[in-house]
Structure 1
Amino acid sequence: MTLDLTHVRSQFPGLSRGWTLFDNAGGSQILKGAVERMTEFLYQKNVQIGGSYEVSLAAAEALREARVAAATIMNAARPEEIVFGPSTTVLIQNLARAMRSQFSEGDEVIVTVADHESNIGPWMSLREFGVTVKIWPINRETLMLDLADLEPLMTDRTRLVAVTHVSNILGQVNPVADIARFVHERGALICVDAVAYAPHRAIDVQAWDVDYYVFSLYKTYGPHYAVMYGKFENLLELDTLYHYFYGKDKTPGKLEPGNPSYECAYSTLAIRDYLAGLGGASGEARARLETGFAAITAQEDALVARLLSYLTSRNDCRVFGATRNEGSRRIPTVAFRFDGHDSGALAKAMDAHKIAIRHGDFHSRRLVEDLGETGAGGLLRVSMVHYNTLEEVDRLCAAFDQILRKAA
């Protein structure tokens, strides 16, 4: 299937403001349907769950439906494997806290240098309790994670490996199923930060056999909120983060202290329905969602090909990550730098063209430091999603030509 971009763009009212929005990895536009679901909850069901009265029962059902919707998006086995929270950062911080009793002094956690700090810092905090944290480096030639570099880091004391599904700078999809299998064979768990992956490709936590999988709804067409999958047997073993009378079996509520934002969680229904709708009007939602993401991939492949063609045609530009999209493994998040130019100044100059891009380290500071690219405003980043158009990419490239000529 191909996307009907007129229909797609009509579902995102924020696109009508006259800006070309190429900062989607920082936060996508929100679906009209997501706002409508939130409003529906707030106007019709906005009470605390747990009561016997009709409105409270409706609120509880709305939260259950939200978990079902998120489970469909991630292909989780059951809705009780879904945990909601304010952000990916908070959810992984909470996960590290809830796993605290599972670690002993001398145990090990492995993180990657390529991750967003959300999936590094929380695990680093365990060093206070005698946990050793090791760094899985990227391959300097391919700028990819290589299992050959992970193997010597793992020992019989390794308890968890934290990895990104896609770096929000390098843009290349990591083979999480292969990594999960490798990690499990050595007796450890895996936690995947999927923030940069979830807007672009279908998720299948069961097929990949990951233990924890987290992403932000506000970067996946929803409100400022996030969701975490955990295998049910793993969630049962986590310590409660809620009141003392929330036992270990009170899952997932024990991991949502103060309760989730019901209205934000309820918006997940709209995200599921939109993605499934891209795959057709009838049939099972999960199958339609997978078809919809195939159409998204085709659109995004065209976008990233057009941008990479421009950037690699210049002799003054360095792209960080793959410069070709082999096997559709390159999402349309592209970081680069123009020689002799301050990235911050170029991003600011783009504002006059009403094109939104970003510069810096994008909270993947350890990676940018490792690349030696922290100076002169850091990196430029153009991050696209399926509602962007080839015409917008062409407008961006023309603007860069004009800005760089003036700066020469």
Structure 2
Amino acid sequence: MSALDLQFVRSQFPAFDEPSLEGQAFFDNAGGAYACLPVIVHLNRYYHESKIQPYHLHPVSQKAGKQMDASHERLAGYLNVSPEEVHLGPSTSQNTYVLAQAFANVLLPGDEIIVTNQDHEANIGVWRRLEKQGVVIKEWRVDSVTGELDPSDLDTLFTEKTKLLAFNHCSNVVAHINPVKEICSKAKQAGVWTVVDGVSYAAHGMPDVADLGVDIYVFSLYKTYGPHLGVMVIRDEMADILGNQAHYFNGAYRHKWFVPAGPDHAQVAAAQGVIDYFDRLHDHHFEKASTVQVRAQRVRKLIQEADAALLPQLLDYVSEHPKLTLVGPSNPAKRAATVSILPTDQTPQELAAKLVKQGIICGAGHFYAVRLLEALGVDPDTGVLRLSFVHYTSQEDMQQLLNALDRVL
């Protein structure tokens, strides 16, 4: 098939058959996407059949451990890394906190970390806290009008003291997609490690981490149709530098190194359901693929094209409406399907409340991007109205949103 079969896609998400959600158009996907059916099945099965300590001697324990291992292996395939490089923690915020503590043992006073003011606070605050240990924090700042980052700024930001660059693949407010591969190449040439927050990007196409050339890539599974876990890909060379952050006697188990609190067994086992869904998506639309990387590439393109088919409608509407101001680029090729809006005659919260009454699920606020909003001259206390969608959003959903905006504006 050359286009996404939306009927098939929505059949894979029980939320679309849920009576309490009937007539509701879901435009708050950047906060958390619907869970796909295979994830729910795996989770239910684990609690029914395997809810004992995994990896112990009993056959059920062995089965539980194999289910958890399968999630690491199958996620790794789609991300184009090894299973040992995939770590599943409680959330991206917790994962980056663990990372920062690991880097604190490696960095010396006077070493520099570059952060942006475009990121979610999870990829800013944890690094800034290292200032107390003598680490120098430098800020890669957005353009105060567009909210975009200019990679050429790094030419002056990088010094011989720069050790780490933390930036996002895509902003969760301005939605600008950064050229990650280009930036990571520039960093590598300067001898700088990279941590990329892909939370706002991964739902729009699971990335090929190896191709990006990043040292660490993090994102949230609950925003990519899965359970409430954070995925952290740490390339082997980087993991060896940072070392084991868990109990000393777990040094032989790489999966435990960066999850010191221990994994949520059931949710880890259910994580492979995301890949079940992507595989179903592939097999429904394409002929057999020779490798998992080919499957991943095809699914990524399919999802991105579905987003691209709807995004211009919303961008054009907002850009042309006299009572709305678009935050971020108006060019759909430069951004993800997350659209932030500033109303001119009411607060974002007031507008969101009116839309909710029209059956539109949406959100308003700063979305943990306080520094970005301050850089753009937007009051974080009121923030923006955010409308975000993914590939299971229909043309009917989009029309319901546009009609609702007409009515409430």
Normalised by the length of structure 1, the TM-score is 0.94
Q: Give the alignment partner of residue 289 of structure 1, picking from 289, 296, 319.
A: 296
Provide the aligned C-alpha RMSD in A. Answer: 1.5
Tell me the alpha carbon deviations over residues 129-161 of structure 1, each in whole angstroms, 9 at most, x when there is no partner: 100111100134543211222221111111100
Q: Give the alignment partner of residue 119 of structure 2, picking from 115, 132, 147.
A: 115
The separation in 2 between residues aligned to 1:254 and 1:3, in whole angstroms, is 39
Map of 1:10 onto structure 2: 11
Map of 2:74 onto structure 1: 69
1:203 aligns to 2:207 (yes or no): yes
Map of 2:324 onto structure 1: 317
Map of 2:94 onto structure 1: 90
The separation in 1 between residues aligned to 2:200 and 2:8, in whole angstroms, is 24
SS of the residue 2:250 aligns to: coil
Summarize the Cα distance change of 1:89–1:348 in structure 2 as closer, same or farther, 3 Å threshold: same
- The alignment-based identity, stated in percent, is 34
1:155 aligns to 2:194 (yes or no): no
User: Could you list the runs of 4 or more consecutive aligned residues of structure 1 that deviate by over 3 angstroms after TM superposition?
Assistant: none
SS of the residue 2:205 aligns to: coil
Q: Give the alignment partner of residue 234 of structure 1, picking from 235, 238, 241.
A: 238
1:99 aligns to 2:100 (yes or no): no
Map of 1:351 onto structure 2: 356
Map of 1:338 onto structure 2: 343
SS of the residue 1:213 aligns to: strand
Amino acid at match of 2:258: L
The separation in 1 between residues aligned to 2:244 and 2:305, in whole angstroms, is 43
The separation in 2 between residues aligned to 1:322 and 1:375, in whole angstroms, is 20
Summarize the Cα distance change of 1:42–1:204 in structure 2 as closer, same or farther, 3 Å threshold: same
C-alpha deviation, 1:221, in angstroms: 0.3
The separation in 1 between residues aligned to 2:185 and 2:355, in whole angstroms, is 44
C-alpha deviation, 1:253, in angstroms: 1.1
Tell me the alpha carbon deviations over residues 56-100 of structure 1, each in whole angstroms, 9 at most, x when there is no partner: 222221121110111022111x10001111110000001111222
The separation in 1 between residues aligned to 2:368 and 2:95, in whole angstroms, is 16
Return 5+ residue gaps in structure 1 as ranges. none
Map of 1:259 onto structure 2: 262
C-alpha deviation, 1:43, in angstroms: 2.0
Q: Are 1:360 and 1:374, in contact at CA under 8 Å, matched by a contact in 2?
A: no
Counting matched residue pairs gives 400
C-alpha deviation, 1:336, in angstroms: 1.2
C-alpha deviation, 1:278, in angstroms: 1.8
Amino acid at match of 2:338: T
SS of the residue 1:255 aligns to: coil
Q: Give the alignment partner of residue 247 of structure 2, picking from 243, 247, 262.
A: 243
Amino acid at match of 1:211: D
SS of the residue 1:280 aligns to: helix
Normalised by the length of structure 2, the TM-score is 0.94
Tell me the alpha carbon deviations over residues 90-143 of structure 1, each in whole angstroms, 9 at most, x when there is no partner: 000011112221111111101000000010011011111100111100134543
